[in-house]
Amino acid sequence: MAFSSSLWSSLFVANPNRTAISTRFSHKPPKLPLSPAFAIPPLSTATAADVSGAIDGTTIAVVSGGFVAALAAVLSLTDPERRRQLQAEEVGGGDKEVVREYFNNSGFQRWKKIYGDTDEVNRVQRDIRLGHAKTVENTLSMLKDEGSLQGVTVCDAGCGTGSLSIPLAKEGAVVFASDISAAMVAEAEKQAKEQLATSEDGSVPVMPKFVVKDLESLDGKYDTVVCLDVLIHYPQHKADGMIAHLASLANNRLILSFAPKTFYYDLLKRVGELFPGPSKATRAYLHSEADVERALQKVGWTIRKRGLTTTQFYFARLIEAVPM
């Protein structure tokens, strides 16, 4: 999924006074904004830089319902699935193999920069970094609502470069962290060794245990299981199974973040599929909160807390579920 810089600028003309970051948490589902301005979902695996020149100065303005109808008609004639199939064939498999290949190669370099603190990022990447960091911050707040994390066992499923695992270890949690990408796991271990030499009070935090595993291969039992910005790689029918599996590993809490599926977000994602850019990216799936809630209820879990993190280019629904 990729977008041009000209597309970004025109899309946001409709809402020039937009707040840079908005976060909301409640025990009731908040209403999603109905503004005509769009944004990409979290963990879009291609950025505006990927398609510089792809549209050659073309801009799209969001001006009316008629525009949306016309755009939907154009999109109905496209076949991004064919491009996805070719991508999967190149690496000899389906979604999982594409994700593994991407995050071990070009995707690793891109997301290492986004998750890191280097200045070598463009405006979109910097905004996504800010949004993801806010999701991590909100997750930590959820976890600490129940008290100290000292000795609490946490599975960080899809740990990336350790952006959640390392802060959890600093809080005294016993962390098991996994990722499908060996490159991501190696970077997470490196960052952990650098940042967890000693804590602020002079004690030595317990180093997270990092392993290379996909979600399906995770086992064991933990007080809490967290899976941030990973469900975007799973279509809903597979996400249901992943949610059930992650819930089976958790004794007390399951925290998930996912790209919310609404008409406008889905439409913009499809626009991006028209312009894949020179760097191929993974598939991106949006999920409705109702579908995620149904998947949880099927295995005896219920949502206790809900939140939404939004920046210009990052939208993530965050939920905390507990056994019924």
Model confidence pLDDT, tens digit, residues 33-68: 333 333 333 333 333 333 333 322 222 333 334 544
Model confidence pLDDT, tens digit, residues 154-172: 999 999 999 999 999 999 9
Model confidence pLDDT, tens digit, residues 197-243: 766 666 778 899 999 999 999 999 999 999 999 999 888 999 999 99
Work out the mean pLDDT of the chain and round it to a whole number: 74
Residue whose C-alpha is closest to residue 216's, from 135, 289, 149, 157 = 157
How open is the CA angle 160-162-164, to the nearest 5 degrees? 105
What is the band of 111 on the pLDDT scale with cuts at 50, 70, 90? confident
* Higher per-residue confidence, 72 vs 236: 236
* Higher per-residue confidence, 121 vs 141: 141
* Higher per-residue confidence, 37 vs 311: 311
Contact of 152 with 176, CB cutoff 8 Å: no
Position 99 scores a pLDDT of: 81
Bridge-based pairing of strands 174-179 and 209-212 is parallel
Residue whose C-alpha is closest to residue 134's, from 27, 229, 16, 199 = 229
Residue whose C-alpha is closest to residue 38's, from 268, 275, 314, 317 = 268
pLDDT at 299 over 90: yes
Give CATH for domain 106-233+248-259+277-321: 3.40.50.150
pLDDT at 92 over 90: no
Burial of 99 (C-beta count, 10 Å sphere; 0-12/13-18/19+): buried
Q: Determine what percent of the chain falls in helix, strand and coil, rounding each to the nearest 5.
A: 45, 15, 40
* Higher per-residue confidence, 249 vs 115: 249
How open is the CA angle 98-313-264, to the nearest 5 degrees? 85
pTM: 0.71
pLDDT at 3 over 50: no
What is the band of 273 on the pLDDT scale with cuts at 50, 70, 90? low
Q: How far apart are CA 24 and CA 145, in angstroms?
A: 16
Position 94 scores a pLDDT of: 65
pLDDT at 5 over 80: no
Give percent above pLDDT 90 in the chain: 46
Domain segments of the chain as ranges: 106-233+248-259+277-321
What is the band of 282 on the pLDDT scale with cuts at 50, 70, 90? low
